[in-house]
Amino acid sequence: EAQVTQNPRYLITVTGKKLTVTCSQNMNHEYMSWYRQDPGLGLRQIYYSMNVEVTDKGDVPEGYKVSRKEKRNFPLILESPSPNQTSLYFCASSWTGGYGYTFGSGTRLTVV
Amino acid sequence: SQELEQSPQSLIVQEGKNLTINCTSSKTLYGLYWYKQKYGEGLIFLMMLQKGGEEKSHEKITAKLDEKKQQSSLHITASQPSHAGIYLCGADYTGNQFYFGTGTSLTVIP
């Protein structure tokens, strides 16, 4: 089944403790992206990647890192999480930016 | 800055009623996409519109893109409880970055 798999689904962590949210797709998509979704602000793009080893900042990249060493994986790294990074995170992939985007099920992150 | 404005923010309708959600862009779109999200879950791709004046339908949902490619509407005919969720429009301006509207929360009362 074609899908984007995010892990974990839920995560509660403490301020400053490094964490990684994994994202993997099995569709051979070139384009992958991370979004965060907050009430009243909608979905905002954190980082995106056009292909392996090519990543670019989205609208809200501060406090996040990404890497794209393989086509299928696009992990999101929070080196020192803060409470303002509490949010619902989505990973998505597609052939080009937006067209036929497939989304993961989301990761609900709480930073206390 | 918000590239895409959606209206209304929320909508409560009686089952069987028709409804329309609007999405307005501050600049000309390369492509306009509609997604549906069930609360707390991932987004499901509904439709994509690229040409000015284009109209697409899927079951009871119809989406249109105006001639200037700056405004789109999503129309649901004879709404059902299964239509409830958050509807988001998304826009591709450059082929690289992709923007979403703030979403419209739809509640359908049986």
Q: Where do we find the tokens 């909508």?
A: B11
Task: Answer yes or no: are the C-beta atoms of A88 and A107 closer than 8 Å.
Answer: yes
Cross-chain residue pair B95–A48, CB shorter than 8 Å: no
Q: Measure the CA–CA gap between B94 and A81, rounded to whole angstroms.
A: 31
- Which of B92, B102, B103 is opposite residue A98, by nearest beta carbon? B92
Residue A69 has pLDDT above 70, yes or no: yes
Q: Is the pLDDT of residue A32 over 80?
A: yes
* Cross-chain Cβ contact A50/B96 below 8 Å: yes
DSSP state for residue B50 in the 8-state scheme: -
Instruction: Read off the pLDDT band of B1 (50, 70, 90).
Output: very low
Tell me which chain A residues have a C-beta less than 8 angstroms from the C-beta of B100.
35, 42-44
Q: Is the dihedral of CA A104, B42, A7, A43 positive or negative?
A: positive
Q: Are strands A19-25 and A4-7 parallel, antiparallel or unpaired?
A: antiparallel
B94 pLDDT more than 80: no
Determine whether the interchain pair A97/B103 forms a contact, defined as Cβ–Cβ distance below 8 Å. Answer: no
Paired tokens of B88? 């988001």
DSSP string computed for chain A: ---EEEE-SEEEE-TT--EEEEEEESS--SEEEEEEEETTTEEEEEEEEEETTEEEE-S--TT-EE--SSSSB--EEESS--GGG-EEEEEEEESSSSTT-EE---EEEEE-
In the DSSP assignment, the letter for residue B33 is E
Greater confidence (B3 vs A61) lies with A61
